[in-house]
Amino acid sequence: MYLQPSSSHSMDTDKIASVFYTMVIPMLNPLVYSLRNKEVKNAFKKVAGKAVLSLGLVN
């Protein structure tokens, strides 16, 4: 049995946080660890730079 203190947020908020921590965070781990690789980091910067230019986000 789990006890939870009363609080101002709903159970839906807890469910969303639970899904976020169990699904989203583990999916981001490979990205985070691959960015430690210099070649991957440079390729990511190159693609991100092209995306910024193509979207016209640069003044």
Amino acid at 14: D
Looking at the structure of the chain, the number of domains it has is: 1
Residue 7 lies inside a defined structural domain of this protein: no
pLDDT at 38: 93
Quick check: pTM over 0.85? no
- The sign of the CA dihedral 35, 36, 39, 41 is positive
CA 14 vs. chain centroid, Å, equals: 18
Residue 35 belongs to a domain: yes
Residue 36 CA: distances (Å) to CA of 3, 32, 46: 40, 7, 16
5 lies in some domain:
no
Decide if 29 is inside a domain.
yes
- pLDDT per position as a tens digit, 1-59: 566 666 666 778 888 889 989 999 899 998 888 888 999 989 989 999 988 888 876 55
* Planar angle of CA 43, 44, 47, nearest 5 degrees: 85
